[in-house]
Amino acid sequence: KQEVTQIPAALSVPEGENLVLNCSFTDSAIYNLQWFRQDPGKGLTSLLLIQSSQREQTSGRLNASLDKSSGRSTLYIAASQPGDSATYLCAVRRGSNYQLIWGAGTKLIIKP
Amino acid sequence: DGGITQSPKYLFRKEGQNVTLSCEQNLNHDAMYWYRQDPGQGLRLIYYSQIVNDFQKGDIAEGYSVSREKKESFPLTVTSAQKNPTAFYLCASTDEFSGNTIYFGEGSWLTVV
């Protein structure tokens, strides 16, 4: 059974720092992995999607990597800003039926 | 603009009542989903539908029901059989031609009073 874990559950860093969020999964047979951002009381916004055949994806200050053999993905945020404060969730798609397995998220606070 | 619209944003349910949450999308997506989110937890799948007139139970379907009579609509009914319905409910959609990116609505808060 696929399980997705995100550690730490919360992270607080000063503005300007580069940081890494972690996502681990137990079954390497994944279709793709996505990173999402959720602001309080809001829906989720997709940040990056990595197909199983890819190693990384980049969008602006964000870079996501995927290592299926070790069951890990990381989301790298460069030059963090207070506006980056949100909960970041990762989700693994396990097959062609569109179902996703979710981590519980990392709540990120960027201090001005 | 294309997107997913959930309504109402806030809903209060009395004990023994059924309530229905609306989800409409104009993205022309085939697949639609309902998730439940509780504080400090990941999303849990309630129901999903890959095509009109067909839907499947997710991991926590007990006490919920859905219909998919139109491609753009996927309403969720929280029945009185759901003993702990207070949560944040999220509707989502995707299809093969969107690069598998999943799009979410803004969510609906349901509180039992």
Q: How far apart are CA B7 and CA B21, in angstroms?
A: 6
Spatial contact of B76 and B21, defined as CB atoms under 8 Å apart: yes
Q: How far is A78 from chain B (nearest CA, A)?
A: 23
- What's the CA dihedral at A101, A91, A19, A43 to 10 degrees? -110
Tell me whether B42 touches chain A (CB under 8 Å). Answer: yes
At A97 the pLDDT is 63
Q: Looking at residues A36-48, what average pLDDT do you find? A: 92
Place of tokens 């519980």: A104
Q: What is the pLDDT of residue B24?
A: 97
CA distance A39 to A74: 20
Q: What integer is the mean pLDDT of B54-66?
A: 95
Query: β-strand B108-112 against B87-94: which pairing, if any?
Result: antiparallel
A80–chain B nearest CA distance, Å: 23
Q: What is the pLDDT of residue B86?
A: 93
Chain A interface mutation, best of B44, B55, B102, B109, highest count of A Cβ atoms under 10 Å: B102
**Residue B110 corresponds to which tokens in the numbers above?**
């349901």
Give residue-wise pLDDT tens across range A57-100.
Answer: 999 999 999 999 999 999 999 999 999 999 999 999 887 666 78
**Could you say which of B4, B42, B58 has the minimum Cβ distance to residue A89?**
B42
Strands B108-112 and B10-13 come out as parallel
